[in-house]
Structures are given as structure tokens and as C-alpha cells.
Structure 1
């Protein structure tokens, strides 16, 4: 009986995981306006042109975060990103500002840490693997992040580069795109998609 119960739980788990894996990515940015996002007050950082979301530092280099207008539990977020001018330091926040997947040059490490998790208070606990061979610095790249409970899995241009088990993760929260403060830079995003896993 115990073996039967275990087998049923195993099958249920596999089916549930399969459903999560097959969750459909839905367009989260319409390429025309900020629908679905919380446009910052007195926005001077974020503009939209021909389906592309552009971020540019203001003269005071105050930085900005563009948050989704809804919260997510488990999810997949995928976006195309393009490095622009200056020292590009950006990333995607996961449920809160303390949990981030980096794209671009780390201010603390002074090198590209694309795909690596940055956790406030811990820095970069792990580094994404093989990024130097995968990243196309002067072209559009695609990053995909899956957040299931406290497990983050990251793909860059279709190749898995890191899995990280975080701690002190909120159950839900918004997803944010970062324009780092104290930087003179530009960066761009397009084809932003999100799939809710629960």
C-alpha cells in the first residue's frame, strides 16, 4: 500500500511538473505603451519606440525600476535584451528588489555577470557558467528565468547557465526591469513574456 501511494504521488508530481513546464508564455509588453507595468512618476528613463522598450540614465544618474503591475508566485519570465551605450548594468528583479538576475557589468566585480543571481547581502553566491561563449555583446540576446518557490533557473540564448536555491524569498511579488543608479548607460528590451506557473 505504501509503495502504491508513493507511486501515485510520483506520477502526480511528474504530471504537475510537466504542466508547469508547458505553461504558455504570454506577451507582457505590448510594444506600444506601459500597459501591464507601473510607469515611474515623472518618467524620464523609459521610452517605447517601434516595439522596443528603451532605458536611459538621467543626468543625475538616479536609476529606475520598471515593475509589473501585478504580483507573481511561481513564474517564467523571458525577454530579449540589448546592451547600449556606457557601462551597462541591468537585470531582472524577482518578486522584490533584493533578488535579481544580473545582465551586464557588475559594479562590484567590474566584469560581466550576465545570468548570475545577485542577492542583497550576499552579492553573487554563484556565477552563471559559459556566458562568455554564449553572450553576444553587440546583438540581441534572450534571457529566460524560471522561479519556482526559491529555486531560480536561468537560460541565456537557449542554454541553461545556472540554477540557484535562494533563501528568504517572498511568496509573491512583481517582476522588475532595472536601470542601475550611478551609471551613465542605455539598454533595451523587447519580446517580454511571462508564464504563471501557479
Structure 2
């Protein structure tokens, strides 16, 4: 039996990473993909746990060799991508695999893996999203402006997704996502006919 891939995407600062981190800590049955990126690590981020931090040259090599399931340049600055092999291995093992990626990446995955489940993580409101982005304190004023413009476009894409989960509380949103993934596995393993 093979698993079904779940893709979690949403606008910048909606809390995708926070929800994924909660799932990593509380739900060991879920396999979380670790993306590669060319951006520098933020305080507290660990190479190989939060991201694979690679050089621009190494990232380009991975793309050229077909090693990425999806990839994109995000906010015109850093490249992000999902290494293909670990995802394929998790699927072959029948695990509950989860990709936490941006909208561009989700669209690429849909093109190559249309059977995946696509989940959009939405903020409770626009004001809440702005507060989260400003409150992070990890971007300059100029970077925040770029991210907020990007977020407007990303929010409009929610209709492209199979499910929408509102991230009004991290634990609740994470549990809703894991419950959805478990129901998918149960449905996939039930006999037909």
C-alpha cells in the first residue's frame, strides 16, 4: 500500500511552520518533508530539521539533476524546494507524508502528483496576518511590504485547494490537519466493492 501525500500551503506568516512544528512534536506518525533553501538560517533553526540550508550553486545542481519535486524563488530573494526522493520513499512505505510549502510549490506538486490532498492554511483575518508578520520581527520594513503584497495574491488562491483550515489556534489547526490525513489513510486502506 502507498500513502497519500498531503500538501499544506498558505500565505506568508499564516503559521505554516508553526503548525508543522507542532505536528512534528505531537504526531510522530506524520512524516514531515524537510525543504531545502538558499536563505540563511533564522535564530533557532537547525540544518536538517527545519530546512536543509544549501548554497545557491548546490540548489541549482539539485534542480538540474531533477532531484526537486518542486522549487521556487520566494519573495524574489531565496530559493526553496522539496527534495523528491524522501517524499517518494515515505509514500512507498505507506506513511502519512506532509509537505509544508508555498503556493508556487503547491501548484508544481499538483501538476506532478494530482492525487495529493491540498490543504490551505488561512488566517482568521487579514489584520491577524499583518499582526503575525510584524510580530515575527524577522523581516525589514521593505521585506514586510513585499510579503504583504504577496500574501494578498496568495489568499485569493484558497479556492484552488481541496480543504481550508483556519489557523485561529495552532493546536486545533494541527489536530484538524492530522485528523484529515488519518481519515485519508483509513479511506485509502478500506476494501472497495
Q: TM-score range by the shorter chain?
A: under 0.3
Structure in which a larger fraction of residues adopt helix: 2
Structure with a larger share of its residues in strand: 1
- TM-score, L = length of structure 2: 0.27
- TM-score where L is the length of structure 1: 0.26
